[in-house]
Amino acid sequence: MSAPHSCAMITGISGQDGALLAAHLLGEGSDVVGTHRPGRAPDLWRLCELGIGTHPRLRLVALDPADAAACAEAVARVQPDAVFHLAGQSRVADSFRDPQASIAANGLSTVNLLEAVRANVPRAHLVLASSAEIFGAPQHAPQNEDTPLAARSPYGLSKLIAHAAVASWRASFGLRASSAILFNHESELRGVAFVTRKLSLGVARIALGREQSITLGNLDAQRDFGYAPDYVAAMAAMAARDHGNDYVLATGVAASIRDFATAAFAAVDIALDWFGDGVDEVGVERGADRVRVRVDPVFFRPFDAPLMVGDARRARRELGFVPTLDLAGLARRMVEADLERETRST
């Protein structure tokens, strides 16, 4: 089968989604040029774990997407037929500490790349990693492509600027540009700063007797947790289409952080019972009377939408998007990967 893209450019290739997307595209036969931040050596652990760190069709280049001239030069040099913009500030909590940096990293960089594509490879398809945070605190669930946009966090605003820019360049200039409205998508390659990986790593260490408990924030927040490889495959399918569009990528099933914690501990045969409310709530190992999960308000966000769940019917219909793991399967896969890493480290 011939590759859908002769050359694909991925910003932020060293992140979870960038590495998984690179592996997917290389598997389809595409050449891949991945970008990383200038002035530092790229963190290649994800690429190496996927077995593509030294792939002959993978090339890495330094690029600051906030630099418009650098974006134009890189796109002109690479001449990609697909550009996947995944780089940026990816954590909601960080955006409250430095809103301006988040808006520059996520909003301005998208405009720079849209302009670089328009000027140098106008037939290329640009795909943006947008976010469900653009919905803010939606009044109705599930959320789909027609749900009103009302970002509440600085991170959500930064993604809303990027999302709106893609729609604007598509309408104003006829650019083939699409937004993947990504709900929570996790994998064994998720960074440890994210709550799902914090849980999988903590559970692995507890199972090995290296730690006693995990401290979390808002246990009641409900999110739509999917498996990241499914989502990057859908982004690749978006770039293969003749016309741009917006697509919600989600499972359609909501689960609380408490539910994810319960599933993660179940992966190592630890059943949790929950006692208390709010900051006093604890998760206790059944039959052992050991507190395994505690709550600390320091991990609460200034604003946290209570329920986020997506309606991905358009993606299912047009992209063939099908989630492959439920919550229990996702948590188990992540915990087992961290158990293997922790065992290797001894």
**Burial letters for 37-73: b for 16+ Cβ neighbours within 10 Å, e otherwise?**
eeeeebebebbeebebeeeeebebeebbbbebebbbe
Report all structural domains of the chain as residue ranges with CATH numbers, in order of start.
Answer: 7-187+225-252+309-324 (3.40.50.720), 195-220+256-305+335-344 (3.90.25.10)
Q: Span 284-294, mean pLDDT?
A: 96
Least confident of 24-38, 119-133, 139-153, 312-326: 139-153
By annotation, the residues acting in catalysis are: 133, 155
Is the pLDDT assigned to residue 70 strictly greater than 80? yes
Q: Span 299-304, mean pLDDT?
A: 70
CA–CA dist 81, 31 (Å, integer)? 10
Cβ-contact 123, 176 below 8 angstroms: yes
Listing DSSP states for 172-240 in one string gives HH--EEEEEEE--EE-TT--TTSHHHHHHHHHHHHHTTS---EEES-SS-EE--EEHHHHHHHHHHHHT
Least confident of 36-40, 220-224, 336-340: 36-40
Average predicted confidence (pLDDT) for the chain: 93
Is the pLDDT assigned to residue 20 strictly greater than 70? yes
3-class DSSP assignment, residue 123: coil
Q: What are phi and psi of 175, to 5 degrees?
A: -70, 140
Is the pLDDT assigned to residue 318 strictly greater than 60? yes
Give, in order, the Cα–Cα distances in Å from 251 to each of 8, 157, 182, 183: 27, 24, 10, 8
pLDDT for 2: 43
Per-residue model confidence as pLDDT tens digits over 91-100? 655 655 666 7
Cβ-contact 275, 258 below 8 angstroms: no
Q: Span 153-180, mean pLDDT?
A: 94
CA nearest 228: which of 247, 250, 245? Answer: 250
Which is more confident, 45 or 99? 45
The pLDDT-based confidence of 136 (bands split at 50, 70, 90) is confident
pLDDT for 304: 64
Cβ-contact 14, 88 below 8 angstroms: no
pLDDT for 77: 97
The pLDDT-based confidence of 140 (bands split at 50, 70, 90) is confident
Is the pLDDT assigned to residue 289 strictly greater than 70? yes
pLDDT for 105: 78
Please tell me whether the overall predicted TM-score, pTM, comes out greater than 0.85 for this model.
Answer: yes
Q: Span 4-29, mean pLDDT?
A: 95
pLDDT for 305: 63
